[in-house]
Amino acid sequence: MVRAAVLPAVGAPLEITEIDLPEPGPGQVRVRLAAAGVCHSDLSLSNGTMRVPVPAVLGHEGAGTVVSVGEGVTHVAPGTDVVLNWAPSCGSCHACSLGEVWLCANALAGAADVYAHRADGTELHPGLNVAAFAEETVVAAGCVLPAPDGVPLADAALLGCAVLTGYGAVHHSAKVRPGESVAVFGVGGVGLATLQAARIAGASKIVAVDVSPEKEGLAREVGATDYVVASEDTAREIRGLTGKQGVDVAVECVGRAVTIRAAWESTRRGGRTTVVGIGGKDQQVSFNALEIFHWGRTLAGCVYGNSDPSRDLPVLAEHVRAGRLDLGALVTDRIALEGIPAAFDSMVAGKGGRALVVF
């Protein structure tokens, strides 16, 4: 039996309880978690903005050590430190055949499986495949990647979602070039990673935007050159900081219609607006045909940073080792499992960066 944070039903409070975790079967790996990040996507799963089978153990950003492996698993062994990959690519669907593994049609197939049970026999599903809000988990072999050398294991958990997403939004989706200007909307865990990625890319001006003035210090610490407290005048303020032109690239990390619209309006004519945030179906964004023609901007969605974890983890690790990427700067709270509901509340209130469950 291991302790886990169970979502009994959509909209219900998390329950910290013991679950019965089986030994890994063929093609599976059992992992003892070192840490798990609390991502806004976990909040979206808990409140029904995104749908997964329930009851479930949430948590998709994690790192730990392999305890045991099932038949056929050869790329890791007991004792191997690993980063969890919540969206493993199948390698055979149309998106994978195009090399767009972040759009794999079968990436979340495992979320519908029963992977564990509560003490009373209730079946449990593994959130976004990996069920990282638990002391240990059992996952498909494709959901683990060897952790990079020279990166503290607890901090390495952040590589599994926030950093891959933020770094990929800048380098793969928006393709920020040295000397360009960048605005980042939302200074949470992904936003902080995006700000660092913009600095690494050589952006000349990096504007952080958030509803909370208290986050300015966090933003500047990781690379923001300017800070704007979100309001109805956000786009005007950003144009004022950029010679009335707007930024070359705006990255939206919130997932709200008003923020997406503000990011679009903050982008210069011919610039790129990249949307990372996950919003609900009720968040409708409208554009008129004339403005799309006139401004010549590109609006693009961005899934998981358009990243390939097996390709990008070594790159990120090298940035960490060289001191260019500070994983610890993303973490504003280190908590126990019991602290996850409070971390959700902080997200709703727009406070802090990444909360990290440390086991």
**Average model confidence (pLDDT) across the chain:** 96
Q: Give the pLDDT of residue 73.
A: 97
Q: What CATH fold (topology level) applies to the domain 163-303?
A: Rossmann fold (3.40.50)
Query: Pick from 69, 46, 191: which is nearest to 138 by CA?
Result: 69
156-172, pLDDT tens digit by residue?
A: 999 999 999 999 999 99
CB 213 within 8 A of CB 351: no
pLDDT > 70: what percent of the chain? 100
Q: Would you say residue 9 has pLDDT above 90?
A: yes
Q: Give the pLDDT of residue 49.
A: 86
Going 294 to 296 to 302 to 305, the CA torsion angle's sign is: negative
Q: Would you say residue 283 has pLDDT above 90?
A: yes
Q: Would you say residue 310 has pLDDT above 90?
A: yes
Determine the Cα–Cα distance for residues 235 and 253; give it in Å rounded to an integer: 16
For the beta carbon of residue 148, count every other beta carbon within 10 angstroms: 18
At residue 51 the predicted structure's pLDDT band, cuts being 50, 70 and 90, is confident
Determine the Cα–Cα distance for residues 278 and 128; give it in Å rounded to an integer: 15
Tokens of 84: 């969890």
256-275, pLDDT tens digit by residue?
A: 999 999 999 999 999 999 99
Q: Would you say residue 38 has pLDDT above 90?
A: yes
Residues facing 57 on adjacent strands? 6
Cα distances from 355 to residues 137, 159, 217, in angstroms, run: 20, 14, 17
Give the pLDDT mean for 120-149.
96
Q: List the beta strands (DSSP E) in 191-339.
A: 205-210, 226-229, 247-252, 267-275, 298-301, 331-335
Query: Pick from 95, 74, 83: which is nearest to 33 by CA?
Result: 83
Is the domain spanning 2-160+326-358 CATH 3.40.190.80? The answer is no
Residue type, 136: E
CATH 3.90.180.10 intervals, the chain: 2-160+326-358
CATH 3.40.50.720 intervals, the chain: 163-303
Determine the Cα–Cα distance for residues 152 and 179; give it in Å rounded to an integer: 32
Q: How far does Cα 169 stand from its chain's mean position?
A: 11
Q: Give the pLDDT of residue 52.
A: 86
Determine the Cα–Cα distance for residues 231 and 40; give it in Å rounded to an integer: 22
Q: Give the pLDDT of residue 50.
A: 84
Which residue do the tokens 């935007």 mark? Answer: 209
Q: Give the pLDDT of residue 104.
A: 97
Determine the Cα–Cα distance for residues 25 and 40; give it in Å rounded to an integer: 31
Residue 62: DSSP 8-state: E
Give the pLDDT mean for 177-200.
97
Determine the Cα–Cα distance for residues 19 and 173; give it in Å rounded to an integer: 39
CB 138 within 8 A of CB 21: yes
- Indicate the pTM of the whole model: 0.95
Three-class DSSP category at 266: helix
Query: Pick from 250, 155, 156: which is nearest to 195 by CA?
Result: 250
pLDDT > 90: what percent of the chain? 94
Query: Pick from 146, 200, 117, 119: which is nearest to 31 by CA?
Result: 146
Q: Give the pLDDT of residue 212.
A: 95
